Structure 1
Amino acid sequence: MEILEWIQDWLKDNADGEWEKGDAIQITTLDSPLGWDVEIDISKTSIANLEIKWILNENGKQDWYGVKIQNQRFRAAGDAGKLTFLLNLFREMIEKIENED
């Protein structure tokens, strides 16, 4: 399943009438450096209590990404070519934790 289909299904599966009214999923752009910022509310998920400090992977000014989980929010940012990658990072975390249960 492609990542956009998966994230759409994930949103529908987690909607409870309240959670989705807030800022459940936000995808915005960064201008300096050019890139993407993804923030997802994980308070209703299997990784809600997970905390990960900011991890930055940088191979150059045009090849980088970072991720953290804090205060029940998944946050990831990356260069302009990393949106699909960032969404897949989130998917991998969710699926890994769910498969461990």
Structure 2
Amino acid sequence: METLTWLQTWYLARCDGEWEFREGIKLLSVSNPGWSVEISVSDTPLEEVQIPFTKFYRSENDWYGYLLEDGLFVGSGDPTKLEHILRVFRNLIENGVPSASQG
């Protein structure tokens, strides 16, 4: 729950009467089955960063991946990876990315 609490706090800090209307966070269940997460990183240091889709695959039922492009973090994974995807996002926000990944 620590990751979810962090995400709520991060989101609230961005809500300014405009950001939440044009940007935001989407958490979706998908039919493969699994999760899809989209989080706007506009107005953050990650806004211009580009990370190509990177997938971590152990088996058909144990995988996740993410990308960062055009001011959007997109993560996906199997049904057990929602918290992990959110932790990847948190790590990027808090620690940034290696300079080789910046656009």
TM-score (norm 2): 0.88
Residue type of the alignment partner of 1:45: T
Deviation string 1:1-41 (CA, Å, 9 cap, x unpaired) is 80111001001111221111134100001112x10000001
In the alignment, what sits opposite 1:5?
Answer: 5
Count matched residues.
Answer: 96
In the alignment, what sits opposite 2:101?
Answer: none
Deviation string 1:38-60 (CA, Å, 9 cap, x unpaired) is 00010121211100000111100
Unaligned runs of 5+ in 1: none
TM-score (norm 1): 0.90
Unaligned runs of 5+ in 2: 97-103
The 5-angstrom pairing of residues 22-101 of structure 1 reads 22-32=22-32, 34-97=33-96
Q: What value does the CA root-mean-square deviation take over the aligned residues?
A: 1.2
In the alignment, what sits opposite 2:99?
Answer: none
Structure 1 moving runs of 4+ over 6 Å: none
Give secondary structure in 1 for the equivalent of 2:16. Answer: coil
